[in-house]
Amino acid sequence: MTHQEFEKRMKKARDAFNRSAPVSGLRGYVDAVRKDIKVIKERDPAARSGAEVLLSYSGLHAMMAYRLSHTLFERGHCLSARLISQGARFATGIEIHPGATIGSGLFIDHGSGVVIGETAEIGDNCTIYQGVTLGGTGKHTGKRHPTLGNNVMVGAGAKVLGPFRVGNNTKIAAGAVVLSEIPDNSTAVGVPAKVVKIGNQRVEDLDQVNISDPVMQEFARLQEQITALEEKLREIENR
Protein backbone atom coordinates (compact mmCIF):
# COMPACT_ATOMS: atom_id res chain seq x y z
CA MET A 1 0.00 0.00 0.00
CA THR A 2 1.44 3.38 -0.98
CA HIS A 3 1.60 6.26 1.48
CA GLN A 4 -1.11 8.11 -0.46
CA GLU A 5 -3.42 5.09 -0.47
CA PHE A 6 -2.82 4.69 3.24
CA GLU A 7 -3.64 8.35 3.99
CA LYS A 8 -6.77 8.08 1.83
CA ARG A 9 -7.87 4.97 3.67
CA MET A 10 -7.30 6.54 7.08
CA LYS A 11 -9.30 9.64 6.08
CA LYS A 12 -12.11 7.46 4.78
CA ALA A 13 -12.14 5.48 8.03
CA ARG A 14 -12.28 8.67 10.08
CA ASP A 15 -15.10 10.07 7.96
CA ALA A 16 -17.00 6.81 8.14
CA PHE A 17 -16.64 6.59 11.89
CA ASN A 18 -17.29 10.32 12.25
CA ARG A 19 -15.17 10.08 15.32
CA SER A 20 -11.85 11.13 16.66
CA ALA A 21 -12.33 14.47 14.98
CA PRO A 22 -9.80 16.94 16.35
CA VAL A 23 -11.44 18.91 19.15
CA SER A 24 -12.25 22.45 18.13
CA GLY A 25 -11.46 25.12 20.72
CA LEU A 26 -11.43 25.04 24.48
CA ARG A 27 -15.16 24.47 24.69
CA GLY A 28 -14.99 21.36 22.49
CA TYR A 29 -12.11 20.07 24.60
CA VAL A 30 -13.93 20.63 27.90
CA ASP A 31 -17.08 18.97 26.53
CA ALA A 32 -15.04 15.95 25.43
CA VAL A 33 -13.40 15.64 28.87
CA ARG A 34 -16.80 15.99 30.59
CA LYS A 35 -18.11 13.14 28.44
CA ASP A 36 -15.07 10.99 29.28
CA ILE A 37 -15.67 11.57 33.01
CA LYS A 38 -19.34 10.62 32.64
CA VAL A 39 -18.41 7.42 30.82
CA ILE A 40 -15.97 6.40 33.57
CA LYS A 41 -18.55 7.07 36.29
CA GLU A 42 -21.09 4.97 34.41
CA ARG A 43 -18.74 2.07 33.79
CA ASP A 44 -16.61 1.88 36.92
CA PRO A 45 -18.48 1.10 40.13
CA ALA A 46 -15.40 2.29 42.07
CA ALA A 47 -15.73 5.84 40.72
CA ARG A 48 -17.59 7.90 43.30
CA SER A 49 -17.44 11.45 41.99
CA GLY A 50 -16.45 13.48 38.97
CA ALA A 51 -13.67 15.14 40.97
CA GLU A 52 -12.23 11.75 41.93
CA VAL A 53 -12.26 10.65 38.29
CA LEU A 54 -10.70 13.90 37.08
CA LEU A 55 -7.92 13.80 39.66
CA SER A 56 -7.07 10.14 39.92
CA TYR A 57 -7.89 8.21 36.72
CA SER A 58 -4.80 7.80 34.58
CA GLY A 59 -6.95 6.52 31.70
CA LEU A 60 -8.73 9.88 31.66
CA HIS A 61 -5.43 11.78 31.80
CA ALA A 62 -4.13 9.76 28.85
CA MET A 63 -7.29 10.55 26.86
CA MET A 64 -6.99 14.25 27.74
CA ALA A 65 -3.46 14.26 26.37
CA TYR A 66 -4.51 12.21 23.33
CA ARG A 67 -7.22 14.71 22.36
CA LEU A 68 -4.61 17.45 22.37
CA SER A 69 -1.91 15.45 20.58
CA HIS A 70 -4.37 14.09 17.99
CA THR A 71 -5.56 17.59 17.17
CA LEU A 72 -1.96 18.75 16.68
CA PHE A 73 -1.15 15.64 14.64
CA GLU A 74 -4.12 16.20 12.35
CA ARG A 75 -2.90 19.76 11.78
CA GLY A 76 0.55 18.53 10.81
CA HIS A 77 2.39 19.37 14.08
CA CYS A 78 3.68 15.83 14.36
CA LEU A 79 6.67 16.49 16.63
CA SER A 80 4.76 18.44 19.28
CA ALA A 81 2.01 15.81 19.07
CA ARG A 82 4.57 13.06 19.74
CA LEU A 83 6.09 15.03 22.63
CA ILE A 84 2.71 15.35 24.31
CA SER A 85 1.96 11.68 23.79
CA GLN A 86 5.35 10.68 25.23
CA GLY A 87 4.84 13.03 28.19
CA ALA A 88 1.48 11.36 28.83
CA ARG A 89 3.13 7.93 28.60
CA PHE A 90 5.68 9.03 31.20
CA ALA A 91 2.93 10.27 33.51
CA THR A 92 0.34 7.52 33.03
CA GLY A 93 2.09 4.47 31.58
CA ILE A 94 -0.37 4.63 28.67
CA GLU A 95 1.02 5.25 25.21
CA ILE A 96 -1.49 6.39 22.60
CA HIS A 97 0.00 7.37 19.26
CA PRO A 98 -1.43 10.77 18.22
CA GLY A 99 -2.39 9.29 14.84
CA ALA A 100 -4.70 6.64 16.35
CA THR A 101 -8.41 7.05 15.61
CA ILE A 102 -10.49 6.79 18.77
CA GLY A 103 -14.28 7.00 19.08
CA SER A 104 -16.28 8.43 21.93
CA GLY A 105 -16.64 6.74 25.28
CA LEU A 106 -13.30 4.92 25.48
CA PHE A 107 -12.55 3.88 29.06
CA ILE A 108 -8.98 2.80 29.77
CA ASP A 109 -9.23 1.19 33.21
CA HIS A 110 -6.11 1.14 35.43
CA GLY A 111 -4.17 1.83 32.28
CA SER A 112 -0.57 1.09 32.98
CA GLY A 113 1.17 -0.69 30.10
CA VAL A 114 -1.43 0.13 27.45
CA VAL A 115 -0.07 0.76 23.95
CA ILE A 116 -2.28 1.97 21.09
CA GLY A 117 -0.54 2.13 17.71
CA GLU A 118 -0.65 4.82 15.06
CA THR A 119 -3.09 3.12 12.69
CA ALA A 120 -5.29 1.58 15.37
CA GLU A 121 -8.97 2.52 15.18
CA ILE A 122 -11.28 2.23 18.15
CA GLY A 123 -15.07 2.44 17.90
CA ASP A 124 -17.47 3.94 20.42
CA ASN A 125 -17.94 2.83 24.02
CA CYS A 126 -14.97 0.49 24.22
CA THR A 127 -13.20 -0.56 27.42
CA ILE A 128 -9.54 -1.43 27.60
CA TYR A 129 -7.76 -2.75 30.69
CA GLN A 130 -4.16 -2.47 31.79
CA GLY A 131 -1.43 -4.13 29.75
CA VAL A 132 -3.35 -4.13 26.46
CA THR A 133 -1.49 -3.66 23.18
CA LEU A 134 -3.26 -2.70 19.97
CA GLY A 135 -0.18 -3.19 17.88
CA GLY A 136 1.37 -4.54 14.71
CA THR A 137 3.07 -7.85 14.01
CA GLY A 138 5.98 -6.19 12.23
CA LYS A 139 4.87 -7.80 8.96
CA HIS A 140 2.73 -4.98 7.60
CA THR A 141 3.26 -1.44 6.41
CA GLY A 142 0.57 1.26 6.09
CA LYS A 143 -2.44 0.10 8.11
CA ARG A 144 -0.78 -2.29 10.53
CA HIS A 145 -2.77 -2.04 13.75
CA PRO A 146 -6.24 -3.43 14.55
CA THR A 147 -9.66 -1.83 14.27
CA LEU A 148 -12.01 -2.34 17.20
CA GLY A 149 -15.75 -2.03 16.54
CA ASN A 150 -18.20 -0.48 19.00
CA ASN A 151 -18.69 -1.77 22.58
CA VAL A 152 -15.57 -3.93 22.52
CA MET A 153 -13.94 -4.99 25.81
CA VAL A 154 -10.26 -5.92 25.76
CA GLY A 155 -9.21 -7.71 28.95
CA ALA A 156 -6.08 -7.10 30.99
CA GLY A 157 -2.84 -8.00 29.24
CA ALA A 158 -4.48 -8.93 25.92
CA LYS A 159 -2.48 -8.29 22.74
CA VAL A 160 -4.35 -7.57 19.53
CA LEU A 161 -1.81 -7.59 16.73
CA GLY A 162 -2.36 -6.86 13.04
CA PRO A 163 -4.55 -4.83 10.68
CA PHE A 164 -7.81 -6.78 11.09
CA ARG A 165 -11.19 -5.99 12.63
CA VAL A 166 -12.55 -6.98 16.01
CA GLY A 167 -16.34 -6.97 15.69
CA ASN A 168 -18.91 -4.95 17.60
CA ASN A 169 -19.89 -6.07 21.12
CA THR A 170 -16.96 -8.46 21.31
CA LYS A 171 -15.02 -9.48 24.41
CA ILE A 172 -11.32 -10.26 24.25
CA ALA A 173 -10.34 -12.28 27.32
CA ALA A 174 -7.60 -11.23 29.69
CA GLY A 175 -4.25 -12.54 28.46
CA ALA A 176 -5.47 -13.40 24.94
CA VAL A 177 -3.27 -12.87 21.88
CA VAL A 178 -5.51 -12.05 18.94
CA LEU A 179 -3.94 -12.47 15.51
CA SER A 180 -6.93 -12.53 13.16
CA GLU A 181 -10.38 -11.09 12.61
CA ILE A 182 -12.98 -11.66 15.33
CA PRO A 183 -16.69 -11.56 14.40
CA ASP A 184 -19.36 -9.37 16.03
CA ASN A 185 -20.90 -10.36 19.38
CA SER A 186 -18.26 -12.93 20.28
CA THR A 187 -15.84 -13.86 23.03
CA ALA A 188 -12.25 -14.72 22.09
CA VAL A 189 -9.86 -16.36 24.55
CA GLY A 190 -6.38 -17.88 24.63
CA VAL A 191 -3.08 -17.78 22.77
CA PRO A 192 -3.55 -17.54 19.86
CA ALA A 193 -7.09 -16.40 20.56
CA LYS A 194 -10.01 -18.57 19.47
CA VAL A 195 -13.67 -17.58 19.39
CA VAL A 196 -15.39 -19.59 22.13
CA LYS A 197 -18.76 -17.85 22.10
CA ILE A 198 -20.85 -16.07 19.50
CA GLY A 199 -24.00 -14.28 20.61
CA ASN A 200 -23.86 -16.08 24.00
CA GLN A 201 -23.77 -19.53 22.31
CA ARG A 202 -20.72 -21.72 22.92
CA VAL A 203 -18.73 -22.56 19.81
CA GLU A 204 -17.78 -26.23 19.98
CA ASP A 205 -14.34 -27.18 18.73
CA LEU A 206 -14.59 -28.07 15.07
CA ASP A 207 -11.95 -30.09 13.27
CA GLN A 208 -11.71 -27.86 10.21
CA VAL A 209 -9.10 -30.08 8.55
CA ASN A 210 -10.45 -33.62 8.94
CA ILE A 211 -14.04 -32.62 8.39
CA SER A 212 -16.17 -35.50 6.98
CA ASP A 213 -17.29 -35.21 3.37
CA PRO A 214 -21.07 -35.89 3.05
CA VAL A 215 -20.81 -36.74 -0.69
CA MET A 216 -18.12 -39.35 -0.05
CA GLN A 217 -20.22 -40.75 2.82
CA GLU A 218 -23.19 -41.12 0.46
CA PHE A 219 -21.01 -42.89 -2.14
CA ALA A 220 -19.76 -45.27 0.54
CA ARG A 221 -23.35 -46.06 1.59
CA LEU A 222 -24.35 -46.73 -2.06
CA GLN A 223 -21.28 -48.93 -2.52
CA GLU A 224 -22.33 -51.01 0.52
CA GLN A 225 -25.86 -51.41 -0.88
CA ILE A 226 -24.54 -52.46 -4.30
CA THR A 227 -22.23 -55.03 -2.70
CA ALA A 228 -25.14 -56.43 -0.64
CA LEU A 229 -27.37 -56.62 -3.75
CA GLU A 230 -24.61 -58.34 -5.74
CA GLU A 231 -24.27 -60.95 -3.02
CA LYS A 232 -28.03 -61.60 -2.98
CA LEU A 233 -28.03 -61.90 -6.79
CA ARG A 234 -25.17 -64.41 -6.65
CA GLU A 235 -27.09 -66.46 -4.03
CA ILE A 236 -30.22 -66.49 -6.22
CA GLU A 237 -28.18 -67.50 -9.29
CA ASN A 238 -26.50 -70.34 -7.36
CA ARG A 239 -29.80 -71.89 -6.21
Ligand X SMILES: CC(C)(COP(=O)(O)OP(=O)(O)OC[C@H]1O[C@@H](n2cnc3c(N)ncnc32)[C@H](O)[C@@H]1OP(=O)(O)O)[C@@H](O)C(=O)NCCC(=O)NCCS
110 binds ligand X (CB under 6 A): yes
Which of 231, 15, 17 lies closest to 122, judged by CA?
Answer: 17
87 binds ligand X (CB under 6 A): no
Is the Cβ of residue 95 or residue 109 nearer to ligand X in the bound state? 109
Instruction: Identify which range of 5-13, 91-99, 168-176, 207-215 contacts ligand X by CB under 6 A.
Output: 168-176
Taking the complex as a whole, how short is the minimal distance between the CB of residue 188 and ligand X, in angstroms? 8
Q: Is 41 helix (H, G, I), strand (E, B) or coil?
A: helix
40 binds ligand X (CB under 6 A): no
Is the Cβ of residue 82 or residue 197 nearer to ligand X in the bound state? 197
Q: Which of residues 172-201 bind ligand X (CB under 6 A)?
A: 173-175, 187, 189-190, 196-197
Choosing from 155, 162, 163, 167, the residue that interacts with ligand X (CB under 6 A) is 155
Is the Cβ of residue 174 or residue 179 nearer to ligand X in the bound state? 174
140 binds ligand X (CB under 6 A): no
Which of 186, 215, 183, 213 lies closest to 202, judged by CA?
Answer: 186
DSSP 141-201: SSS-S-EE-TT-EE-TT-EEESS-EE-TT-EE-TT-EE-S-B-TTEEEETTTTEEEEETTE
Chain centre to alpha carbon of residue 236: 69
Is the Cβ of residue 89 or residue 110 nearer to ligand X in the bound state? 110
Q: Which of residues 18-37 bind ligand X (CB under 6 A)?
A: none
Number of residues that bind ligand X (CB under 6 A): 14
If one counts every other C-beta atom within 10 angstroms of the C-beta of residue 23, the result is: 17
Which of 115, 112, 116 lies closest to 59, judged by CA?
Answer: 112
User: Binding pattern to ligand X, positions 48-77, x when CB under 6 A?
Assistant: ------------------------------
159 binds ligand X (CB under 6 A): no
Is the Cβ of residue 200 or residue 212 nearer to ligand X in the bound state? 200
Q: DSSP letter at 96?
A: E
Rounded (5°) CA angle 35-41-44? 130
Which of 45, 23, 161, 168 lies closest to 109, judged by CA?
Answer: 45
Which of 107, 199, 159, 121 lies closest to 172, judged by CA?
Answer: 159
Contacting residues toward ligand X, per CB under 6 A = 110, 129, 155-156, 171, 173-175, 187, 189-190, 196-197, 202
